Amino acid sequence: MKIDQRDADAALGGNSEVHAHSSWMLPAIVLALAVAIAVGVFFYLTGPTVDEIQGNLPSPTESKEVADIRIDGALFRIPANYTKFSRSRYNGDQDDVPMHALLPNMSPWSPGDKAAFASNAPDARVIHFTLAIDRQALTYQEKFERGIKPAAQIEDGEPGPFGLTQYKFGPGTGYENTEWFTAKLEDGSELVMRCDASANPDFGSSCMRVTRLADNVGLTYKFKRAHLAQWKQIEAGIMGLIDSFRPKP
């Protein structure tokens, strides 16, 4: 019995179509996926990182272009050659602005001083400082007076080097491996400074001062202990530099 094509289609469940596929389509798809993966791996390995995109990697510049930056409402006009990161070179609000300068004159970064700014030697001349939002209940000085000073071997301190008052701490206090110094400044305020040795003896010790400025902006600066004899000049230099960032009436 002869079966025509319509009977065959009916037996297969109705109308049916046979699609022909090119023999090169599947290899082409596999090749395209392989290329996409290779490109992705290449950009992952060689492309910018998240920190680079966000401007969070050190990128010093000699540019003197000024950015108008507000920190908790306080306005500062900061030249780019003092900033460490590119994110600090745009107008607008910032939580913090990390900067650096070179002792003794608080000079900004330049290509000729590149090695001095990158140095971490015990006598490195670079000073690191940061302006930041500071909304803590107590200032650094108040924390020292209330929580640290009472643990000193001599609570009122003793004469230290370079006109400073020094506080020493016994074992078990948590401060036995640190040096603490205070001094009365000309405006009547108190300077509190802490010096710590690096875990790597090749880097020497660094001293840090944390304070809150009159407009409630926090200031932290750090320098090598080898320059502790110049603490007055460093304090005056940093404060003068910060003042130069404030817009003049």
Q: What is the pLDDT of residue 47?
A: 45
222 to 12, 35, 120, 130: CA distances (angstroms): 85, 49, 12, 9
Residues in the chain: 249
Under the banding of pLDDT at 50, 70 and 90, the label for residue 228 is: very high
Strand partners for 132: 96, 218
Question: CA-CA distance, 192 to 163, in Å (whole number)?
Answer: 13
**DSSP labels for 65-107?**
-EEEEEETTEEEEEEGGGBSBGGGSSSEE-SEEEEEEETTTTB
Q: What is the pLDDT of residue 25?
A: 72
CA separation for the pair 149, 180 (Å, rounded): 9
> What is the per-residue pLDDT for 249?
80
pLDDT tens per residue across span 67-111: 999 999 999 999 999 999 999 999 999 999 999 999 999 999 999
Q: Where are the domains of the chain?
A: 5-46, 56-244
pTM above 0.85, yes or no: no
Mean pLDDT of the chain: 87
Q: Looking at the predicted structure, is the pLDDT value of residue 4 above 60?
A: no
